[in-house]
Amino acid sequence: MFPSESEDLFDLMGDRPDKPEEACGVFGVYAPGENIATLAYFGLFALQHRGQESAGIATFDGSTVHVHKDMGLVSQVFNEKILQELPGNLAVGHTRYSTTGSSRRVNAQPAVVKTRLGSLALAHNGNLVNTAELRDSLAARNCEFATTTDSEAIAIAIGQEVDSGLGWMEGAIRAFQQCQGAFSLVIGTPDGMIGTRDTNGVRPLVIGTLPGAPERYVLASETCALDIIGADYLRDVEPGEMVWITNDGLASFFWATQPEPKLCVFEMIYFARPDSKFHNDSLYSYRMRLGRRLAIETPIDADIVIAVPDSGVPAAIGYSQVSGITYAEGLIKNRYVGRTFIQPTQTMRESGIRMKLNPLRDVLAGKRVIIVDDSIVRGTTSRKIVKALRDAGATEVHMRISSPPVTHPCFYGIDTDNQSQLIAATKSVQEIADQIGVDTLAYLSEEGMLEATQDATQNFCTACFNGRYPIPVPALLKRSKLMLEKLEPATVGS
């Protein structure tokens, strides 16, 4: 997915990001008579934090599909002229971070496949765990692949079912039943728009409505994408549900016989924007509750509480409220630094975080500091931040993390390293504290994290904290993120 928040602090300094990175943002709008390409553009703009590698929009004007996609940010890929060349009544959009398939233009989405009923355009958030098996099955049916993504495999599977004589809905359901893993999908067709989530609902997908008569519908990864275009939140797409949106309105079908909700809890802790809502509760409020619980579980005497901006801010405020210790800004973030291909000088590398974060010496000097962040994955960023705080005059540095230790990799759409590269999988809390250079380090308990959701605790996937994977993961997938690059390309026939 992205670098947004603090995870890309040192990407510019040549280090791997020190946060988990997620897959993608998906968006769809069915609104005849509206400027749908512009609506899709702004929807993707609001979802930019979910993917900064590539962006794309496909629109349907009757049976004609128009597609534009390229590498880069939404604002770099599209302009007014390009949007004017994307007419139609329905649009599907995507922002990408590569978790299956490398970061190349050919892998940008939406994935477009031709069928006997016309083209379909598919945008995918998540990761399948049976991609190799699905591709082998499709190759045996003489299918060709243009990309190395699991998303294209899903699109081709739908196309195959449609070409066998099924309609859009029946063909899509038949294809979904062949997929194992995490997938939230928005699919455009000449006849309507499909939205679905896997049987566990690992990745989010919401439904919104645009004002007017007749009512028009929007699908998006998060509610923040509804807000930006003036759409009202209607409800979530349920795990194992498919919605079919046409000029007649919205119809719902459940294709999974025994759905079991397992929303990725990291969506709530970190991935989604704080102004997005889950279960009618803003994630800003949830993250403040995490901080309050963190203060109860891990008290420490100090002079100020600061956050790693921006992702640690709500939890830091919550920690301050309960502890009674003053909240202050100790790190100023340069919000206009994105990815760059210009390598910093060695002096800049040695200066640590100042390209992205600059410590406020007059706030920190002589102070005992509590610094709050949402997670530690590898520890590289945390170590540099702690050094910068000490260089700025902090007399003590106590780090508090508003989630449990990340001990297991994710295979459902989050790009985390193998287990040996996750610092909490190989080191104790004290050893991590010693490595990153803090006086004390403490994490929120798993119980506290789940109770703060104010929802049934069994409704969340917490595998990255405890290794309890709700969907079985094949050994091959565990060995390589870019597994498809190592397979022989599928070819037609002979």
Residue 41's contacts (CB-CB under 8 Å, 6 or more residues apart) are 57, 74, 78, 83, 93
* Residue set of the binding site for Mg(2+): 311, 373-374
The pLDDT value recorded for residue 356 is 80
Beta pairing partners, 492: none
The pLDDT value recorded for residue 316 is 98
Beta pairing partners, 194: 187, 244
Q: Which two tokens stand for residue 129?
A: 């765990």
Closest among 273, 276, 339 to 76, alpha carbons compared: 339
Largest CA distance in the chain: 74
DSSP, collapsed to helix, strand or coil, labels residue 475 as: helix
The pLDDT value recorded for residue 352 is 60
* Residue set of the binding site: 264, 311, 373-374, 410, 461, 464
**pLDDT digit string (tens) for 116-142?**
999 999 999 999 999 989 999 999 999
**pLDDT digit string (tens) for 70-103?**
999 999 999 999 999 999 999 999 998 754 444 5
The pLDDT value recorded for residue 445 is 98
The pLDDT value recorded for residue 7 is 37
> Which positions are catalytic?
24
- Count CB atoms within 10 A of the CB of residue 389: 26
The pLDDT value recorded for residue 421 is 79
The pLDDT value recorded for residue 97 is 72
pTM (predicted TM-score): 0.89
The pLDDT value recorded for residue 338 is 53
Alpha helices, DSSP H, located in 184-312 = 224-227, 265-266, 283-297
- Count CB atoms within 10 A of the CB of residue 40: 30
- What whole-number distance in Å separates Cα of residue 315 and Cα of residue 89? 42
* Residue numbers in the chain where pLDDT is lower than 50: 1-16, 99-102, 339-341, 480-494
